[in-house]
Structure formats: C-alpha cells, structure tokens
Structure 1
Amino acid sequence: MGLRDDLERFREVGEQRREDLADFIKYGDLGSGRPDGIQIPVKIVSLPEFEYDQRDQGGVGQGDGDTPDVGQPVGQPQPGDGDGDDGDGDEPGEEGGEHEYYEMDPEEFAQELDEELGLDLEPKGKTVVEEKEGPFTDLTRTGPDSTLDFERMFKEGLKRKLAMDFDEEFLREVCKVEGFGPRDVFEWARGENLPVSMAWIEDAYDEIPADELDTWRSVAELEENVERESVQQKIRREGIKHVPFRREDERYRYPEIIEEKEKNVVVVNIRDVSGSMREKKRELVERTFTPLDWYLTGKYDNAEFVYIAHDAEAWEVDREEFFGIRSGGGTKISSAYELAEQLLEEYPWSDWNRYVFAAGDSENSSNDTEEQVIPLMEKIPANLHAYVETQPSGNAINATHAEELERHFGRDAEDVAVAYVNGADDVTDAIYEILSTEDDTDA
C-alpha cells in the first residue's frame, strides 16, 4: 500500500468522523449548506507526511541546491505525481479544505433525520404525471381469448358439478330396493343430500323391469354389494370435459390502471422581523427552519419555497434576505397569512402538498391572533400549519401568540403544531414536534 492509498484511507476515516447530525443542527454552521447540498463538518485526522531530517548529514545522494530547511515537509504527494503531470500544483496543505466537510444531499439528510428522530413521514403524490398498466388483477365479462381467466371458469364449473351431480347408477339401484316406490327413493335421496328431482326418479323408476324391482331387500344390502361413486371419483374418471362450463362463468383479465403521481410540495416560511426579533431569536428561527427545508426537499420530488417577512405589514423576500432582515416596526402576524393565502393561489391544494411554517417571539398586536390569524389558518388548506416561538430569555409578558394557538387548536391537532425553542438544545425537539404532528392521511 503506497502513500496515496494511505491518504485515501485517512479521508474515509475522516468522513466517518463527521459531526453528529443532531449536534450539527443544534450548533453547526447551517449557512454553509445549499438547497441541493448540505455540508457537515468533518473532524479532521492528521494526514501523514515526511519531514526533513534535522541532522545535517552529508553523503551520497545529497543534492547541491534547493536543500529544505530543518523540519520542512518533503515528498508530499501532489496531484498528478507519478502519472505524467508536469508537477505544477498546490503547495502542501492548500488542498486540505476538501477534507473539511461531508457533502450530504437532501435525500440522505431526510433519511438520516428520520433515523435520528424516529420520524416516518411518507409523502403522497397529488399530481398525476403518468398512467400505466399494472398487474392483471381486474375482471370483466368480455375481452380477447388470450386474457380468459380459465382457472376461475374451471372453479365455477367444478363447484356447480359438485353441487348438482350424483351417482345416477347407484340411485337407479335404490329404485330396486324391495318395497320402495318413487316417493321412498326421493325421501332417501333427500336424506343423502342428493340434488335429484322427483321427476327424474319417476322416469328412472318407470324404466326398471318389473322383475328387478325387488332385487335388494334393503338399502344396507345394496350398499354391501354395489360401490357408490362420489362426484370427485367421477370427475377423476371422466376428466374435466364433463365439468359443466357455462358462458356466465367466463371472465377476462385486464390490467389495473396505476397512476404515477409526482410528489410536489410548497413550503411557506413566515418570519417576524419586527424590532423585538433580535439576533439570538433570528438565529433560532434559522436553526429550526433550515433543516425543515432540507428535510422536505429530500422527501418530495419537487419542492418550492416561499419566504414571507412581516412586522405590521408583510412582504415576500428571497431566502438570502429571509434570515437576516430586521425592521423596527410593530407586529401584526395576520398580515403574513393574508399574503400567504394570495401566494398559495399559484399552488392549488388539489395538486400541491402545502406546509405553512411561521416563527417569531409570540408577540402580536392586540386580538390579532384570535380575530385574524386563527380564522386564516383554518381557511388555508395545508398538510400542516406550524408556529415556532423563539424566546431565549423565557416568555415575555405580552408573548401570547403560541399559547393562544395551542389553546384554540389543542395539543393533539393533526394539522397544527406549536413548538417552543428557547435555545439550541430545543431545536431538534421542535423539528420532531412539527414533523410528527402531520396526519399521514393528509401527507
């Protein structure tokens, strides 16, 4: 194994030592990630290197020039060494940055977060993108001969055979029992559950010669001398050609039509940017909302995001502005929901899964929560409405928005979640509270 192989092995060891996912969410630099890629810091291990011997010894092979200083690394493999490269490359240590992060796509992030938090969200598609033939499980009365369900037809005919057939020869022998007339034979047949009519017995009785009518002194004597053949034995002897198939038994298989649905989601992120939302509160919002965005991106085929900032008024912003913007105005949370309702008109509920996530410090203008926000949340159809309260110093006297939502919707609501984040340690609990609230039937 050469030095280059050793370096690759050390890279693999480093990736295995990447930061724990939960710790990364709570304390890591989330801003280094991208919508399509999450960069998780790796705990770097020291890479091997050669150093120049501190003993200044001469001898065969010592060069005449460019002698390294004492302790200077020598022989560090460069990209292309030994494979025809011209030798020009980065100085030793310059390529260390590629070892500093573990690159994780949203799908892997969602899978690991499921395992980390014990989640089991299974999104359902809404928009039909393709219809294709599935297995031949459905039946119809007409169709091409190649799709005839012969097995079913045979079973139906066989059931009829078992229900309607009997040993005709044995029953004719019963007509020859001493003292038996057609009525006696019929009563005996009923007792044996033989599906025979009185008319059939009368015809059979009339065909028997008079000198044979007293052949058997009793049915018991008859059974001792004549073997009775069951319907099953008769079928085995005669074969399936005697199974009575009827047109009404015919069924033709045709394929089940399976709809391939695309799992689309739109996520509306709402943030209070009023004067009371200072840096620590804004950081907790970012630490909660960013993993939610990554998670839903990984879970759905197509994810779109809408970002709304608000103080006493609301306006749409892009992602770069969303977590950093701050205003000095008051707070009216309903303004954000009014704007969200308008923007969601582009994402019909019949075609899109919807999530509406809002966050702030629970401060709101008087009566706005009860009179405006709650009715709007009930009016806007969504898989889930969630509110995250960020109060690092504990509840403020006038911070009642989250409590009012919880009081109105209850803690067991299947489409409304309320979470409290007072510090980084609360973030993963809040994420679990939000993602585990959604009712599977609506996903």
Structure 2
Amino acid sequence: MGLTEDRERFREVGETRREDLAEFISHGDLGGSGPDRIRIPVKLIDLPAFEYDQRSAGGVGQGGDGQPQPGQPVDPEPGDGDEEGDPGEEGGDHEYYEMDPEEFAKELDEALGLDLEPKGKRVVEEVEGDFTDTARSGPRGTLDVDEFFKRGLKRHLATDFDEAYVLEGLFVDGADVDDVFAWARGDGVPVSRAWIADAAATLEAERGEPVTALDRWASFDALADGVERDSVTRRIREEGLDSVPFRREDERFRHPEVIEERERNVVVINVRDASGSMRETKRELVERVFTPMDWYLTGKYDAAEFRYVVHDAEAWEVDREEFFGIQSGGGTRISSAYELVAEILEEYPYSEWNRYVFAAGDSENAGSDTTESVIPLMESIDANLQAYVETQPGGGAANARHADEVEAAFDDGDGVAVARVSEPDDVTDAIYEILSTESNAESDGAGAGGAGGAPRGRTDGGDRR
C-alpha cells in the first residue's frame, strides 16, 4: 500500500470519527451548513508523514537554507504552494464530514429512535401500468380474446343439454309439454318450455299422430332408469366443439392499470417571537431546535417548502437569514403570528400538502391572548403537527404562561407538542418530543382540527442528549 492509499485510509478513519450527531446539534456550529449540505466537524487525527530522525542530527545531509531540518516533515508530493508567509485559504478536506438531508434524517432516526413515515399527498402524475384491467368497450386491438372465449364457453355449458334424453320425456304415459318441462328442470336440465313444445309439434307432424299415442314409459322414474343421460362435458371431451356461441355482451377489452404517483411534499411554517425579551441566548436555542428539524423534514420528504414568520405585537414574514437574528423592541401578541400562518396555509391545501407549524418563544404573551385567540386559531388549523418550544434559559419566568396554557388546552390525539428548552443539552430531547408526537400517533388516527397524532413523551426514560 502506497503513501497516497495510506492518506485516503486515514481520511476515511477521520470521517468515522466525526462529532456525535446529538453533540453537534446541541453544541456544534450549525451556521457552517446549508439547506442541502450539513457539515459536521471531524475529531482530527494526525495524518502520516516522514520526518528526519532526531538521532541523525549532525550527520551528513544536514542542510542550511532550504534544506530539511531535524524533525521537519518531508512533503511526499512536492509542488507549487503558497508563497512563504502566506496562509492557505482552504480548509483541509478532513476537517468536516458532509451529509445531505436524507442521510441526516436517517442518522437522526437512529440516534433518537424516531420512525416518521411521510404521507403521500399531491398526485403528481398517473402512470399506466400493465394491461390488467378490463372494460366493456375499447379499441378492437385490445379485445381480451381469452376472456371472450371463456364467457362464450361458460354460456354454452350452461345452456347445452342432452336433447335425446329430454325428447324421451314426451313418451311418458300421460305426460304433456308442461309435465316434461317440470320434470326436466327439476332434473337440472337447462331446457326451455318453448323448446319442448316445438319438439312435440315436430314429432307429431312427422308421425301424423299425437305424441301421447307413442307412450313407452310408464313414468319419469322408469325413463331415468332406462335411459342414460349424456353429460355435456363428456360429450365436449370426446367430440369437441364445432362452435361456441359468442355474444357482444361477452366482449371485454384490456386497459392498463392506472397507478397514481403521489408526491410526499411538505410545507413547514416556523414562527418565532422577536419581541424585546427574546435575547441572543433564547434566539440561539430556537435555532438549535428548528434548524435540525428543517434538515430532517427536507430529508424525509420529496419536496419541502419553508416559510418563516416573526412577531412582536404584530407579525410579518421574513427569509431564513433574518429569522434567527431579528429582534424588535415591541411587546408580544402571539395570535398575530397564527393569523398570518392561517393566511399562508391557504396557499397549501391540506388535501395536497403535509403541513407543520412550529412556533417558539419565551412563553410570554399579552394578557389572555393565548386562551382567547391563540388556542382557537391552533384548533382551526389543519396540520400534521403543531408545536410550541419554550426557550427560557435558567428556568421559567413568572409571567411565562403560554406553553403551560397550550399544553393544558390540548389532550392526547390533538397533534400538538409542547417542549421546553433551558440549555443546549435540552435540544435533542425537545426535537424528539416534537417529532415523535406525529410518528408515535400514526396508529392513533387524526386528532382535532385535522392534526394527526397524539402528543407523547419518551417511554424509555433514557437520556438522549
């Protein structure tokens, strides 16, 4: 194995030593990643390099300017580099492990024990499958010949009978057409009364005398004992079929099976309190919860759209870059955000979109706004999942009641999660609490307001930090 292969192997080892995912979410630099590329630091290891043996100091080969000195690494692949004194501009490839959102979602499922299965919503196309469906009309070239023949044969078997056997019934002492018809149908012979009447008339015309004058059976029982009935199936096996009676109603035309392909799409509306009480530490906790969930849902769904709403006493929409940093000096009226959320969601019909509404703040709200306005608005919103994240470093404040009031208003099955984060180590537990509310509730059905899922906490009692 050469030096180049050694270096690549050590790089692979470095990637397996990347920072723990939960540690990265709670304490790592999330800002170095983008919406489609998550960069997780690698715990660096020294790559192999040749060095002059210190014990050889003073021997032949010790150089002056431009010559390697004892202990100095030898570059195995010399080439053009930066000028002396100029720092390099690019970081080493081994400093980060990169993953896309799909890989991130899979890793987070394993790390936190999640099991969210996205639902297909909007029909994006209808695919024609195999020609397995049939209809009573269609192009002649799609006629299902096998089905056509089977239907005709089935009718033939159902209507054919041993005519000679039925004719013998006309020679039973005292039997008329009605008696023969009743006897034949009682014996399971699919003959019509009209056929028997025609046969009787033909016999009388041929013989010139009434059929009753030709009686040779004392009774129908005597006839059955004296004449063996010939079955249709035996006759077909031995003699074959000259023809099968087909009718237009027997025709069936093949059509391709129509398969609907549904896109697993999602819209996520992130809401954040931007009032004066939301200091930098609180805003950072919001970012540590919301950013990984954005990555996670991007990886889970085929198509994901994100909208960002901030509010103080009023609400307005911003882009992602502004969302986590913006701060106003105003008061707080959380209902203003949900009014705007309801307007935005009109662009995303629930029948066609999976919908998530995640809000965060320090639980401070004006007066009775939570109970009188926010909770009714949340109940009116159709969504897979709604959540509120309380960020209160060091514990709750006396007037921070919003999370408690939301939690008290919604029961299991309402698809609403409440999580509390007071320090970075709480972040992964909060993410689990939110995302497991939907994944655990898939078997419970939809709750009030169309939100599917029952809020549930962890059942293992373990520490997921």
Coarse TM-score class (shorter-chain normalised): 0.7 to 0.9
Closer, same or farther in 2 for the Cα pair 1:222/1:424, shift >3 Å? farther
Task: Report the Cα offset of residue 38 of structure 1.
Answer: 0.5
Contact 2:314/2:336 (8 A) holds in 1: yes
Task: Report the Cα offset of residue 145 of structure 1.
Answer: 1.1
Closer, same or farther in 2 for the Cα pair 1:176/1:6, shift >3 Å? farther
Matched residue type, 2:373: Q
Give the secondary-structure state (helix, strand or coil) at the position aligned to 1:433.
Answer: helix
Structure-2 residue corresponding to 1:10? 10
Equivalent residues in 2 for 1:247-266, closer than 5 Å: 247-258=248-259, 260=261, 262-266=263-267
Structure-2 residue corresponding to 1:84? none
Closer, same or farther in 2 for the Cα pair 1:324/1:316, shift >3 Å? same
Give the secondary-structure state (helix, strand or coil) at the position aligned to 1:407.
Answer: helix
Give the alignment partner of residue 81 of structure 2, picking from 79, 83, 89. Answer: 89
TM-score with structure 1 setting the length: 0.81
Bigger mean CA offset, 344-353 vs 110-119: 344-353
Closer, same or farther in 2 for the Cα pair 1:217/1:259, shift >3 Å? closer
Matched residue type, 1:409: F
State the alpha-carbon separation in 1 of the partners of residues 139 and 105 from structure 2.
Answer: 47
Contact 1:277/1:360 (8 A) holds in 2: yes
Bigger mean CA offset, 254-263 vs 275-284: 254-263
Structure-1 residue corresponding to 2:192? 197
Structure-1 residue corresponding to 2:120? 124
Bigger mean CA offset, 311-320 vs 236-245: 236-245
Q: Give CA-to-partner distance per residue, 1:239-298, whole Å, 9 cap, x none.
A: 566333210121222335555555543322111133433444323211110011112222
Matched residue type, 1:88: D
Structure-2 residue corresponding to 1:103? 98
Give the alignment partner of residue 218 of structure 1, picking from 219, 222, 245. Answer: 222
Structure-1 residue corresponding to 2:292? 291
TM-score with structure 2 setting the length: 0.78
Give the alignment partner of residue 144 of structure 1, picking from 136, 139, 159. Answer: 139
State the alpha-carbon separation in 1 of the partners of residues 4 and 82 from structure 2.
Answer: 16
Structure-2 residue corresponding to 1:311? 312
Closer, same or farther in 2 for the Cα pair 1:197/1:130, shift >3 Å? closer
State the alpha-carbon separation in 2 of the partners of residues 392 and 412 from structure 1.
Answer: 30
Matched residue type, 2:318: V
Task: Report the Cα offset of residue 37 of structure 1.
Answer: 0.5
CA RMSD of aligned residues (A): 3.6
Q: Give CA-to-partner distance per residue, 1:16-64, whole Å, 9 cap, x none.
A: 333343343233322221111011222334322211111227889x476
Closer, same or farther in 2 for the Cα pair 1:345/1:59, shift >3 Å? same
Q: State whether structure 2 residue 363 is matched by structure 1 residue 362.
A: yes
Contact 1:269/1:305 (8 A) holds in 2: yes
Gaps of 5+ in 2: 208-212, 453-465
Give the secondary-structure state (helix, strand or coil) at the position aligned to 1:294.
Answer: helix
Q: How many residues align?
A: 428
Structure-2 residue corresponding to 1:153? 148
Percent pairwise identity: 64
State the alpha-carbon separation in 2 of the partners of residues 240 and 96 from structure 1.
Answer: 85
Closer, same or farther in 2 for the Cα pair 1:6/1:219, shift >3 Å? farther
Closer, same or farther in 2 for the Cα pair 1:58/1:363, shift >3 Å? closer
Bigger mean CA offset, 345-354 vs 314-323: 345-354
Contact 2:266/2:305 (8 A) holds in 1: yes
Bigger mean CA offset, 231-240 vs 264-273: 231-240
Closer, same or farther in 2 for the Cα pair 1:187/1:380, shift >3 Å? closer
Q: Give CA-to-partner distance per residue, 1:297-330, whole Å, 9 cap, x none.
A: 2233443322222223333333223223334443
State the alpha-carbon separation in 1 of the partners of residues 402 and 15 from structure 2.
Answer: 43
Structure-2 residue corresponding to 1:268? 269
State the alpha-carbon separation in 1 of the partners of residues 261 and 150 from structure 2.
Answer: 35
Q: Give CA-to-partner distance per residue, 1:331-384, whole Å, 9 cap, x none.
A: 211122233344445555565443221011222111101222123323444443
Contact 2:271/2:358 (8 A) holds in 1: yes
Closer, same or farther in 2 for the Cα pair 1:337/1:52, shift >3 Å? same
Closer, same or farther in 2 for the Cα pair 1:51/1:349, shift >3 Å? same
Equivalent residues in 2 for 1:38-187, closer than 5 Å: 38-56=38-56, 62=61, 66-74=66-74, 76-78=75-77, 87-89=79-81, 97-116=92-111, 117-126=113-122, 129-172=124-167, 185-187=180-182
Contact 1:332/1:365 (8 A) holds in 2: yes
Closer, same or farther in 2 for the Cα pair 1:103/1:238, shift >3 Å? farther
State the alpha-carbon separation in 2 of the partners of residues 49 and 241 from structure 1.
Answer: 92
Q: State whether structure 2 residue 323 is matched by structure 1 residue 322.
A: yes
Structure-1 residue corresponding to 2:459? none
State the alpha-carbon separation in 1 of the partners of residues 340 and 334 from structure 2.
Answer: 10
State the alpha-carbon separation in 1 of the partners of residues 237 and 82 from structure 2.
Answer: 87
Give the secondary-structure state (helix, strand or coil) at the position aligned to 1:412.
Answer: coil
Contact 1:113/1:119 (8 A) holds in 2: no
Structure-2 residue corresponding to 1:26? 26
Closer, same or farther in 2 for the Cα pair 1:70/1:197, shift >3 Å? same
Contact 1:235/1:242 (8 A) holds in 2: no
